[in-house]
């Protein structure tokens, strides 16, 4: 597919990297985005007037079966490490091949694309539930992601999940995160339950799962503020690996921790969701 439109500056094209890795490129009057079919992974999003909102590792893999380091990995149907160590961290959706379903050129500034993933014999081996998953991505002066899980099985199932957004920042020491004051969180570094006091700043490894999160989160950087609005979610993960963990991370340069922070729109830990047969749950985030 290479589809030019009646809307003069709107382009939606299907492309491949030299190794065959497929992605969809979107350009409209407001923004540009690139979305890999593997993982329905938005790995670039940029409005036409400012630098990229999303961080992408310079050394990221664009290879089948490896998650892209950066952008917005879709962690589903579980967040984190499952008890069975043979199963992949953060679920299989981020490394599965999704189907590109449709596009809607809403107007010259707004393009919506839809991807889907359904259960197969392979997914049933990893997770014994029949599901349909849809990701709606709206590219405009905001980036809107809606991840809809539908239970097409005959018994209920439980999911945890996250839109594991990597934000590009000028320097991690300039970052101030607002909106989680007084919220309880699991500190996954010390494995202690704690409560947030004031804004979140960084001077060491941070890996926290906040609960009872409601309302807008602001990522304040030196010269810009990014707004994050979540729906269908009461948990938010905040992560920066800092020096030592960054050295151990795959597909990250040793000093990459300085230029990124993850603020993840989640249903994690006590915010896990049970979905009954024929019912759906949608996790939505709007970023601008």
31 vs 172 by CB, closer to ligand TA6: 172
CA distances from 86 to 82, 91, 125, 126, 229 (A): 9, 11, 12, 9, 34
Smallest distance, Å, CB 75 to ligand TA6?
Answer: 8
**Residue 142 lies near ligand TA6 (rule: CB under 6 A):** no
Q: Cα separation of 191 and 137, whole Å?
A: 34
Q: Pattern of binders to ligand TA6 over 199-238, x per CB under 6 A?
A: --------x-----------------------------x-
Name which position in 264, 283, 285, 287 contacts ligand TA6 (CB under 6 A): 264
146 is catalytic: no
**Residue 259 lies near ligand TA6 (rule: CB under 6 A):** no
Q: Cα separation of 201 and 12, whole Å?
A: 38
**Residue 54 lies near ligand TA6 (rule: CB under 6 A):** no
What is the β-pairing status of strands 217-220 and 143-151? Answer: unpaired
Q: Cα separation of 34 and 23, whole Å?
A: 7
7 vs 188 by CB, closer to ligand TA6: 188
CA dihedral 73, 76, 79, 80 (to 10 degrees): -70
**Residue 80 lies near ligand TA6 (rule: CB under 6 A):** yes
Point out which residues bind ligand TA6 (CB under 6 A): 67, 80, 89-90, 164, 188, 207, 237, 239, 262, 264
């Amino acid at each position: 597919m290479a589809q030019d439109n009646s809307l003069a500056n709107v382009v939606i094209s299907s492309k491949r990297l030299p190794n065959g890795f497929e992605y969809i490129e979107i350009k409209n009057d407001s923004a540009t985005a690139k979305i890999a079919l593997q993982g329905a992974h938005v790995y670039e999003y940029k409005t036409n007037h400012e630098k990229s909102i999303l961080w992408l590792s310079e050394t990221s893999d664009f290879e089948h079966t490896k998650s892209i380091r950066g952008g917005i990995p879709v962690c589903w149907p579980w967040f984190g490490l499952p008890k069975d160590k043979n199963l992949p961290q953060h679920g299989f959706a981020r490394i599965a091949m999704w189907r590109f379903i449709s596009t809607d050129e809403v107007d010259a500034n707004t393009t919506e694309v839809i991807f889907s993933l359904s259960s197969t014999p392979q997914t049933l081996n990893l997770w014994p539930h029949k599901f349909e998953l849809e990701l709606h991505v709206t590219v405009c002066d905001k980036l809107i992601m809606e991840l809809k899980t539908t239970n097409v099985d005959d018994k209920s199932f439980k999911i945890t999940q996250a839109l594991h957004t990597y934000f590009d920042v000028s320097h991690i020491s300039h970052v101030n995160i607002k909106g989680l004051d007084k919220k309880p969180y699991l500190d996954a570094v010390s494995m202690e339950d704690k409560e947030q006091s004031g804004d979140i700043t960084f001077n060491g490894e941070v890996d926290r799962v906040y609960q009872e999160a409601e309302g807008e989160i602001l990522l304040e950087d030196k010269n810009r503020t990014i707004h994050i609005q979540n729906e269908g979610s009461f948990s938010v993960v905040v992560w920066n690996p800092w020096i030592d963990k960054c050295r151990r991370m795959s597909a990250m340069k040793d000093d990459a921790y300085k230029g990124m922070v993850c603020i993840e729109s989640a249903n994690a830990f006590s915010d896990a969701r049970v979905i009954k047969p024929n019912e759906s749950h949608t996790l939505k985030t709007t970023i601008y």
